[in-house]
């Protein structure tokens, strides 16, 4: 089991802010000192550009950088390191796909399918691409329990509540873009089953998984998921900001046009033509965030040292405790979004407290050094679907403990007291 | 110190001019997408002065209290007097320290009013 008190010692921010209760890891996680040290190591010991210099500092930097690709490939169970493309973040990974396969594969009258619970990063690029192409942009709705009501059994369902996959996916569907974990609801989508059912109807469709909220918390195996592309950000999984990963199937990557042009992505350039490097370099134009990519290795090492089964057990216990405490304390004065069964959700709880706006809650909590997220969490279509302008979100990670949740409850009691109407 | 002073809470819980105006001469709708705040404001202009002003909408305590205080402050003022008001004056009405993110909440009603008088 995880001992958050021990883990906290590895995160220097708690030395500088001993009273900090950080409940916003779904926005970005805190960083362990091993990651911070690795960034410094690059700048202090082998600060040179990669893939260019014929001198030992550059060779060392290139070696560390390319080693990160191998580490990420193993981490995701990719077929080879060549399937790993480093981006700025998950958002850039999706934009890369929308402006390459989104252009070559999607034509007028065809379809892009996504869900109403997507983060704007996995929604807007596809929506805009569909509009540009004159394609249909289909959005799968959620049900009352905040899950996708899809019939994935392969059998005909008599239930009117479940939607048949053949009503959503057709031969016209070119892209299926879906999040593994919702950043607002916490819902864990059965992505493996959804992709299998969709590909049964149309084997040609490209399945894109936004794993930004999943990779920090659960073991990901791209072969098992059966997707064609998967994206995530380093900064939500203990790694540096400014680094993301796009994994793609080698045979598709080889067919894809480049995303950006410039240095490091070419094979030869002449006045009359340019030939491009092979994947993954074809998709990495310009000098990347070398220190960040190298330090991502340390984040992965830390997560594997703690162990995903421990992480999941820990987060599940925190989520269960948070949901129970919130309901017990506020009863009908609180509305918790997402699946009611804590087992069916990831380590975050979004809620609305009666009579107190989310921003006011966050402000009052901040006065007690408790950091939560308030607003629409980059899921405006989902908030519109829930019929609310904003919500407050508390998200948990390995350094959180039950006391953090007790503090949250006390802070919310205070917010509720401040806003209780005076007679 | 908490920004939720009694005065702010009073204006949030019992907002002044929280109404629509009969025969309004100008109306505006504004949103603060960051928080999901929505504000609708109306004025009745007569002889170059704000004869009546009202607002409806949903928002955090700061945005509602600010709208309530601002509408009280500008009622009866001429367009010229309105345009002389600076953002610091609006923040001065609230009399609290605000972080940059909350500034947007506090100034939403002021933005609405500027749109109305410039129409």
Span A110-150, pLDDT tens digits: 999 999 999 999 999 999 999 999 999 999 999 999 999 99
Closest-CA distance, B7 to chain A, in angstroms, reads 12
Q: CA-nearest residue of chain B to A373? A: B35
Average pLDDT score, chain B: 90
Answer whether A208's CB lies under 8 Å from A97's CB: yes
Chain B: residues touching A (Cβ < 8 Å): 2-4, 9, 12-13, 33-38, 58-62, 102, 105
What pLDDT is attached to residue B31? 87
Structure tokens at A152: 């994935």
Q: CA-nearest residue of chain A to B101? A: A359
User: Which 8-state DSSP code applies to residue A100?
Assistant: T
Domain ranges of chain A: 4-23+307-414, 39-304
Structure tokens at B111: 């933005």
Closest-CA distance, B90 to chain A, in angstroms, reads 20
Span A344-379, pLDDT tens digits: 999 999 999 998 999 999 999 999 999 999 999 999
What pLDDT is attached to residue A422? 57
Closest-CA distance, B75 to chain A, in angstroms, reads 27
Residue in the structure block whose two tokens are 């942009």: A137
What pLDDT is attached to residue A171? 97
CA distance B51 to A311: 62
Quickly list H helices, A216-307.
Answer: 222-225, 250-255, 290-306
Answer whether A210's CB lies under 8 Å from A189's CB: no
Catalytic residues of A: 378
Structure tokens at A136: 């249909």
CA distance B78 to B69: 17
pTM over 0.90: yes
Domains of chain B: 6-118 (3.90.1010.10)
Structure tokens at A6: 């021990």
CB-nearest to A359 from B13, B38, B105 is: B105
CATH number of A39-304: 3.40.640.10
Which residues make beta-bridge pairs with B45? Answer: B50
Radius of gyration of chain B (CA): 13
Residue B30 has pLDDT above 60, yes or no: yes
* ipTM score over 0.95, yes or no: no
What pLDDT is attached to residue A423? 41
What pLDDT is attached to residue A285? 95
**3-class DSSP assignment, residue B30:** strand
Contacts with A374 from chain B: Cβ below 8 Å? 35
Contacts with B102 from chain A: Cβ below 8 Å? 359, 363
CB-nearest to A383 from B13, B36, B102 is: B36
What pLDDT is attached to residue A143? 95
Residue B1 has pLDDT above 70, yes or no: no
Strand pairing of A334-336 and A163-164?
unpaired
Contact A357 B59 (CB under 8 A): yes
Closest-CA distance, A333 to chain B, in angstroms, reads 17
Contact B4 A376 (CB under 8 A): no
Closest-CA distance, B34 to chain A, in angstroms, reads 6
| Residue of A353, A359, A377 to mutate, testing the B interface (most B Cβ within 10 Å of its Cβ) | A359
Chain A: residues touching B (Cβ < 8 Å): 357-360, 363-364, 367, 374-376, 380, 383, 388-390, 418-419, 421-422
**Residues of chain A scoring pLDDT < 50:** 423
Contacts with A367 from chain B: Cβ below 8 Å? 2
Contact B60 A419 (CB under 8 A): no
Which CATH architecture does the domain made up of A4-23+307-414 adopt? Alpha-Beta Complex (3.90)
CA distance A93 to A97: 6
CA distance A361 to A375: 11
Contact A419 B9 (CB under 8 A): yes
């Amino acid at each position: 089991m995880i001992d958050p008190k021990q883990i906290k010692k590895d995160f220097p921010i708690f030395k500088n802010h001993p009273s900090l209760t950080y409940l916003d890891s779904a926005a970005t996680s805190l960083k362990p000192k091993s990651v911070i040290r690795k960034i410094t190591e690059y700048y202090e010991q082998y600060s040179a550009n990669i893939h260019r210099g014929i001198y030992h500092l550059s060779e060392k930097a290139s070696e560390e950088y390319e080693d990160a690709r191998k580490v990420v490939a193993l981490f995701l169970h990719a077929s080879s390191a060549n399937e790993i493309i480093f981006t700025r973040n998950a958002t850039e990974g999706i934009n890369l796909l929308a402006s390459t396969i989104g252009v070559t594969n999607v034509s007028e009258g065809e379809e892009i399918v996504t869900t109403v619970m997507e983060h704007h990063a996995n929604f807007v690029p596809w929506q805009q691409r569909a509009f540009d192409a004159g394609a249909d942009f289909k959005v799968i709705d959620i049900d009352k329990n905040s899950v996708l009501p899809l019939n994935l059994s392969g059998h005909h369902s008599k239930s009117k509540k479940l939607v048949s996959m053949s009503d959503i996916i057709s031969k016209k569907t070119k892209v299926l873009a879906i999040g593994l974990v919702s950043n607002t609801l916490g819902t864990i989508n059965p992505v493996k089953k959804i992709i299998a059912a969709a590909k049964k109807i149309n084997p040609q469709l490209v399945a894109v998984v936004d794993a930004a909220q999943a990779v920090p918390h659960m073991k990901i195996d791209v072969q098992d998921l059966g997707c064609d592309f998967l994206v995530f950000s380093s900064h939500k999984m203990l790694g540096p900001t400014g680094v993301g990963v796009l994994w793609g199937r080698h045979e598709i990557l080889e067919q894809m046009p480049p995303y950006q042009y410039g240095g490091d992505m070419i094979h030869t350039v002449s006045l009359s033509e340019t030939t491009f490097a092979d994947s993954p370099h074809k998709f990495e134009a310009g000098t990347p965030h070398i220190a960040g990519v190298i330090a991502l290795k340390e984040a992965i090492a830390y997560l594997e040292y703690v162990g995903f089964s421990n992480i999941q057990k820990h987060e599940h216990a925190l989520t269960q405790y948070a949901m129970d405490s919130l309901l017990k304390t506020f009863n009908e004065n609180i509305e918790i979004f997402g699946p009611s069964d804590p087992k069916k959700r990831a380590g975050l709880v979004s809620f609305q407290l009666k009579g107190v706006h989310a921003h006011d809650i966050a402000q009052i909590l901040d006065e007690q050094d408790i950091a939560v997220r308030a607003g629409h969490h980059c899921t405006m279509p989902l908030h519109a679907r829930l019929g609310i302008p904003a919500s407050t979100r508390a998200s948990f990670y390995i350094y959180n403990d039950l006391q953090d949740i007790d503090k949250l409850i006390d802070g919310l009691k205070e917010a509720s007291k401040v806003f209780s109407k005076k007679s | 110190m908490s920004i939720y002073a009694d005065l702010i809470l009073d204006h949030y819980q019992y907002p002044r001019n929280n109404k629509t105006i009969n025969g309004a001469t100008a109306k505006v709708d504004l949103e603060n997408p960051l928080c999901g705040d929505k504000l609708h404001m109306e004025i009745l202009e007569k002889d170059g002065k704000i004869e009546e002003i009202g607002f409806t909408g949903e928002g955090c305590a700061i945005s509602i209290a600010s709208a309530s205080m601002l509408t009280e402050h500008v009622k009866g003022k001429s367009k010229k007097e309105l345009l002389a008001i600076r953002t610091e004056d609006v923040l001065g009405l609230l009399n609290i320290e605000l972080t940059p993110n909350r500034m947007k909440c506090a100034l939403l009603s002021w933005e609405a009013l500027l749109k109305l008088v410039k129409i």
